[in-house]
Structure 1
Amino acid sequence: MAGTPILSVRDLTTSFLVDGEWKSVVRKASFDVGAGETVAIVGESGSGKSVTSLSIMRLLDTASSRIEGHVMLSGRDLLSLSEKEMRGVRGNEVSMIFQEPMTSLNPIFTIGRQISEVLTRHKGLSKQDARAETVRLLEKVRIPNASARFDDYPHQFSGGMRQRVMIAMALASRPKLLIADEPTTALDVTIQGQILDLIKILQEEEGMSVLFITHDMGVVAEIADRTIVMYRGEQVETGLTAEIFHHGQHPYTRALLSAVPKLGSMENRPWPTRFPVVDMKTGLATEPVEVAGTVSKGMTPILAVKNLVTRFPIRSGLLSRQTGSVHAVENVSFDLFQGETLSLVGESGCGKSTTGRSIMRLVEPTGGQIELDGYDVLRLDPVGLRGMRKSVQMIFQDPFSSLNPRMTVGAAIAEPFVKHKLGTARQAKDKTADLLEKVGLSTDMARRYPHEFSGGQRQRIAIARALSLDPKLIVADESVSALDVSIKAQVCNLLLDLQQSLNLAFLFISHDMAVVERVSHRVAVMYLGEIVEIGPRVAVFDNPQHAYTKKLMAAVPVPDPARRGIRRGISNDELKSAVRGMDYQPPKREYREVSAGHLVQVG
């Protein structure tokens, strides 16, 4: 690497005080970031990548943390500066953007005031000049009608637009180095693509360096010149991104790469396929195995949804009169058969989760028909609803919030079995032991509590709990999206194995197109509460017809460094709203059949 690096980290070791002892979580990390260069630090939860960035910025609590080594920024060692001197560095020479912009923005101040504060504090600009510069920055990060939005509050922006505001704030003082800590993880795939493009364009325009922290190898391939792989607090491999992808040496690097679902990898595979499993010691992966289906389409569907409508009233004024509605689900129809996986895909706000919750009557539908395993779901009284829920169970995105922290996992798994009076206490205990083994956990774990498990293990416990009533249908609502890439692969494999052995039907709700391609028999694409395209997975992925389906697929990061120069084109449009007035009449939709069972909305 030519020239003096902007940032030079040597032997960085960070320790935390745990039960009176110092425990190191980052050990001897050393790397450089050159002028105008993008370096990615990649690894899963607990690898030490975020702690590395917080150590560089000196944002850790000094009472419970200890940072050793050298962090040189343009010749100055940041670890030797006083706190006052460090405040002059943060936001001025080095800026940072975080994963969740809503927690980084103050909800009681306008976004214009928050960005202006950086300019008046670090650059000494007058109030008027700071306002003009703030509007210029908002235009630079492609926020439409920037001058009018200066006085808007954070809650008035979508997630993607809030992240743009954070980038504008980070760029306000023209830093030499931008540290981006998982800045796209919480965003929908199309918004993620826009933010990645935006960072690349702004980097070229401003000539700044970027330290990009992520667990997503697809994102790494698209943005990084060089890559640092971290595992359990240690730097296990460093090199040019293309070299790491094509000739990665460390078993963990190869494990990370093989676990990444690649869009298009299911070509010529008609059935859902297990992810390859990598031996962490050798780095060798198993061959992907097709899970031959038992889909019984000649029979009555386990779930038949016809013209489902779910709307949420909007009330305002002194008397809380209804002034409009959120049309969350609008005229949705589909069938789901035993042993089949139908995936509902789309971005946040498209209505896919509300569809799943409406089917289970966790929210009350406004109209339509739902027939589930012989039940007319919308006509059920509380007793009938309780009986129906033996046939259908739900797995949520965050298993920790769906498990009682004061209940052992054994008791949590047995609870539905006991509540529905399906057997004795002894039978409940045996059932729990059997389910723990089914989901790949040991029976002695039944005595532990949820906080004693990792995220992936907790999701397995949530799956075991869902299986305790022997359901025929499982609604999996973003059940793998919060998991690290290798854990995501393991949980998807578990779901496929359970489907094959128990002949389960899955309604798989997700925004991750690459995972959906791997696990689905059929796919339904939702946009603003409506299904715009539905059909066999092979037909939809090989021959997408609707413009929105094409947009979703084009936005998926592909783990191939050769695509690094690609720009998708940044859209300045915020996602359209599903809020409608009282007099709104939904248009009658028509569908065209492209091929057998492959339907696309016309107009």
Structure 2
Amino acid sequence: MKRAAEPVLSIDNLSVAFRHDAGWREVVSGVSLTLQAGETLAIVGESGSGKSVTSMAIMRLLNMRHARVSGQIRLNGVDLLTLSESAMRDIRGNAVAMIFQEPMTSLNPSFTVGDQIAEALMTHRRLSQRAAREETLRLLEKVRIPEAAKRYRDYPHHFSGGMRQRVMIAMALALRPKLLIADEPTTALDVTIQGQILDLIKTLQEEDGTAVLFITHDMGVVAEVADRTLVMYQGAMVETGTTSAIFAAPAADYTRTLIATVPQLGSMRGTAGPRRFTLPGQPVAEDIAPALTPRAPLLSVRHLSTRFSLHEGLFSRKTGAVHAVENISFDLLPGETLSLVGESGCGKSTTGRSLTRLVEPCAGQITFDGRDVLTLPPPALRQLRCAMQMIFQDPFASLNPRMTVLEALTEPYLQHRLGSKTAAREKAAELMVRTGLSPAMLNRYPHAFSGGQRQRICIARALMLDPKMIIADESVSALDVTVKAQIINLLLDLQHSLGLAYLFISHDMAVVERISHRVAVMLLGEIVEIGPRAVIFENPQHDYTRRLLASVPVPDPARRHFRRQAEVTELQSPVRPLGFETPARHYREVSAGHWVMQ
């Protein structure tokens, strides 16, 4: 009788507790799982369910002065909880590697990205400096970092969020570990890169028999990568089984809720305007705004360009420029949502920052509410920003950790002298209720909230100044599906009641389809296609738009072995030499309001 192969990872009755003022509080309770070579197990659940804590316990990265871990964690038959720290250091990287959720906090800001990857290769594989550099460049090219040889010496802050996540993936793959723990590895990535990274992980499994523990809140990703799925809620296992069985017949109410709130591409066919998500226990959602009345634009952008100079050498001589935004034009009506979509580095976020002059454009015209934004002096610009607010991608980074929520909400109101401290506090309490939070939370600090709650606080802060337009920069990308649905419903309700206009920047095409009136697709700083949401999703004309839509993960376990493309194409770079002149672009109107670059 053939003996079953020993699992790469075996966890038995894992429990984790953290020290609090009142004693110990258990955050993971009784988790057990096994993972075979070449298999992918997905752990899914909401923020705070214990997914990431479980992965940190496997890697022995919890601070044992404040954490208590019990149970067994066996890697290739060795109980990791019994090893010394020096033995554990040898296992990390060699036998097990981890892709962390927050690449900016995981990368050392004092070292170049190339040196950080090369260091792991020289330390664990004993490669020479030259060989480590060559292998690092190969890895950077494998995860599609453009012009890898030039970017080798760049620091983490020189990269976009998606680019930093690719660097983290390259670092994790460097030593070809037997177990790869991927903690939300594709959250910050746009759909085309996400699809390629998922294909890359599948290929790695086929070549090396790597076992993958995939932690995510994206059920579309789960369906495509996972052989088995484990659902967690409030630190405990809710159910586990094959992915196909869980999607076909979920046993737990919580699992059914997770699957029901997944935004699915194509679900908006036949609808005229944005539509709220239907959450469990709520009536079926209806269109929020079937049609917009033609009006004068609130925002008008004409031939906007933003470039960043590149300098090299001892005397910092200018050698070129990053053409981040190149000659784009669009309008935004009052009460309308225009979504900007495209790959990481295409210029979406730079466009949003250029509109508020957080970065200074080099050419073009921006007219907001009848005023020329680019000619305003600083006092007038500061006043204009009351009406043009921004919600940033990372709510934790955009909230001051030393300020209470009350101070964060009332500071802009008081700085602009819109009322007294009493009026500011009353308005803050009202907005907390409106965004689904309690006024009793006002005296807490940001670290006391979950990611979804922090994003609600950022929305409340943006509303404190009664804006006419909100620029939402990847405002729901890092949220799990149930919280994402709640935040989108909140944004749509606020738009309906307050008449807000949104410039919605996102790489999540299913969410864009749900929330948008119109969509603009960006590539290398240029808009290649713009038009009403229905025609962009149902009749895309540009090859790049079709590629974006084809890359969206579909929550169907039948796609487990699906490959998007056998060959990874080279990512183009927006870096241009001195004196470069962008060729004249021509657009064709396919239908009313639907324009495509030729």
TM superposition score normalised by structure 2? 0.89
The residue aligned with 2:173 is 168
**Separation of aligned partners in 2, 1:436 and 1:416:** 16
Q: Retained in 2: the 8 A contact 1:116–1:134? A: no
Q: 1:458 to 1:6 in 2, by over 3 A?
A: closer
The residue aligned with 2:47 is 45
**Separation of aligned partners in 1, 2:136 and 2:42:** 29
Aligned partner (choices 228, 238, 246) of residue 236 of structure 1: 238
**Separation of aligned partners in 2, 1:323 and 1:232:** 53
**Separation of aligned partners in 1, 2:271 and 2:453:** 29
The residue aligned with 1:287 is 284
| Letter paired with 1:239 | G
1:160-218 per-position Cα deviation (integer Å, ceiling 9, x unaligned): 652452243241xxx44333232222323222211111111121122232222222211
For the pair shown, the structure with the greater C-alpha radius of gyration is 1
Q: Retained in 2: the 8 A contact 1:135–1:150? A: no
The residue aligned with 1:58 is 60
Note the C-alpha offset of 1:338. 1.1
Q: Retained in 2: the 8 A contact 1:38–1:224? A: yes
Note the C-alpha offset of 1:72. 3.1
The residue aligned with 1:21 is 23
Aligned partner (choices 293, 296, 304) of residue 293 of structure 2: 296
Aligned partner (choices 545, 559, 565) of residue 561 of structure 2: 565
**Separation of aligned partners in 1, 2:228 and 2:140:** 26
| Letter paired with 2:8 | I
Q: How does 1:127-146 map to 2 (within 5 A)?
A: 131=131, 135=135, 138=138, 142=142
Aligned partner (choices 240, 247, 250) of residue 249 of structure 2: 247
Q: Retained in 2: the 8 A contact 1:369–1:378? A: yes
2:335 paired with 1:339? yes
| Letter paired with 2:327 | N
Aligned partner (choices 464, 481, 489) of residue 468 of structure 1: 464
| Letter paired with 2:436 | G
Note the C-alpha offset of 1:495. 0.6
Note the C-alpha offset of 1:415. 3.3
Q: 1:111 to 1:246 in 2, by over 3 A?
A: same
Q: Retained in 1: the 8 A contact 2:137–2:152? A: no
Q: How does 1:261-340 map to 2 (within 5 A)?
A: 261-278=263-280, 286-293=283-290, 295-297=292-294, 299-340=295-336
**Separation of aligned partners in 1, 2:145 and 2:57:** 37
How many matched pairs? Answer: 586
More deviation, 334-343/484-493: 484-493
Aligned partner (choices 73, 76, 92) of residue 75 of structure 2: 73
2:92 paired with 1:94? no
Q: Retained in 2: the 8 A contact 1:301–1:338? A: yes
**Residue 593 of structure 1 aligns to a residue in which SS?**
strand
**Residue 264 of structure 2 aligns to a residue in which SS?**
coil
**Residue 400 of structure 1 aligns to a residue in which SS?**
coil
Aligned partner (choices 165, 173, 179) of residue 177 of structure 1: 179
Q: 1:97 to 1:340 in 2, by over 3 A?
A: closer
RMSD: 3.1
**Separation of aligned partners in 2, 1:384 and 1:590:** 36
**Separation of aligned partners in 2, 1:150 and 1:347:** 20
More deviation, 162-171/528-537: 162-171
Note the C-alpha offset of 1:438. 2.2
Q: Retained in 2: the 8 A contact 1:159–1:187? A: no
Q: How does 1:472-491 map to 2 (within 5 A)?
A: 472-491=468-487
| Letter paired with 2:51 | K
**Separation of aligned partners in 2, 1:423 and 1:102:** 38
Q: Retained in 1: the 8 A contact 2:228–2:242? A: yes
More deviation, 506-515/457-466: 457-466
**Residue 402 of structure 1 aligns to a residue in which SS?**
coil
Note the C-alpha offset of 1:5. 3.0
Note the C-alpha offset of 1:101. 5.7
Q: 1:82 to 1:117 in 2, by over 3 A?
A: closer
What runs of 5+ residues in structure 2 fail to find an aligned partner? none
What runs of 5+ residues in structure 1 fail to find an aligned partner? 121-125, 279-283
Q: 1:142 to 1:327 in 2, by over 3 A?
A: closer
1:13-48 per-position Cα deviation (integer Å, ceiling 9, x unaligned): 122233373322211111111343211111222211
**Residue 486 of structure 2 aligns to a residue in which SS?**
helix
Q: Retained in 2: the 8 A contact 1:143–1:572? A: no
Q: How does 1:425-574 map to 2 (within 5 A)?
A: 425-569=421-565, 571-574=567-570
Aligned partner (choices 415, 418, 424) of residue 414 of structure 2: 418
| Letter paired with 2:533 | R
| Letter paired with 1:169 | A
**Separation of aligned partners in 2, 1:374 and 1:343:** 22
The residue aligned with 2:192 is 190
Q: 1:424 to 1:101 in 2, by over 3 A?
A: closer
**Separation of aligned partners in 1, 2:520 and 2:31:** 45
**Residue 228 of structure 1 aligns to a residue in which SS?**
strand
**Separation of aligned partners in 2, 1:319 and 1:484:** 48
Note the C-alpha offset of 1:104. 5.6
**Separation of aligned partners in 2, 1:352 and 1:154:** 21
**Separation of aligned partners in 2, 1:101 and 1:461:** 23
Q: Retained in 1: the 8 A contact 2:145–2:166? A: no
**Residue 9 of structure 1 aligns to a residue in which SS?**
strand
**Separation of aligned partners in 2, 1:506 and 1:251:** 34
The residue aligned with 2:14 is 12
Note the C-alpha offset of 1:243. 1.2
| Letter paired with 1:5 | P
Q: 1:314 to 1:177 in 2, by over 3 A?
A: closer
Note the C-alpha offset of 1:134. 7.8
**Residue 174 of structure 2 aligns to a residue in which SS?**
helix
Q: 1:29 to 1:534 in 2, by over 3 A?
A: same
| Letter paired with 1:469 | L
Q: 1:446 to 1:14 in 2, by over 3 A?
A: closer
The residue aligned with 1:123 is none
Aligned partner (choices 556, 575, 579) of residue 579 of structure 1: 575
| Letter paired with 1:295 | L
Q: 1:90 to 1:383 in 2, by over 3 A?
A: closer
Q: Retained in 2: the 8 A contact 1:96–1:179? A: yes
**Separation of aligned partners in 1, 2:329 and 2:478:** 28
**Separation of aligned partners in 1, 2:145 and 2:384:** 50
Note the C-alpha offset of 1:52. 1.6
| Letter paired with 1:369 | Q
| Letter paired with 1:289 | E
**Separation of aligned partners in 2, 1:315 and 1:258:** 50
| Letter paired with 1:396 | F
Q: Retained in 2: the 8 A contact 1:111–1:154? A: no
**Residue 399 of structure 1 aligns to a residue in which SS?**
coil
| Letter paired with 2:454 | R
1:138-167 per-position Cα deviation (integer Å, ceiling 9, x unaligned): 479846899x96994574994465245224
The residue aligned with 2:380 is 384
**Separation of aligned partners in 1, 2:298 and 2:132:** 60
Q: Retained in 1: the 8 A contact 2:6–2:77? A: no
**Separation of aligned partners in 1, 2:234 and 2:576:** 50
More deviation, 221-230/323-332: 323-332
Note the C-alpha offset of 1:96. 3.4
The residue aligned with 1:371 is 367
**Separation of aligned partners in 2, 1:267 and 1:541:** 9
The residue aligned with 1:281 is none
| Letter paired with 1:388 | L
**Separation of aligned partners in 2, 1:448 and 1:354:** 32
- Quote the sequence identity (%): 59
**Residue 72 of structure 1 aligns to a residue in which SS?**
strand
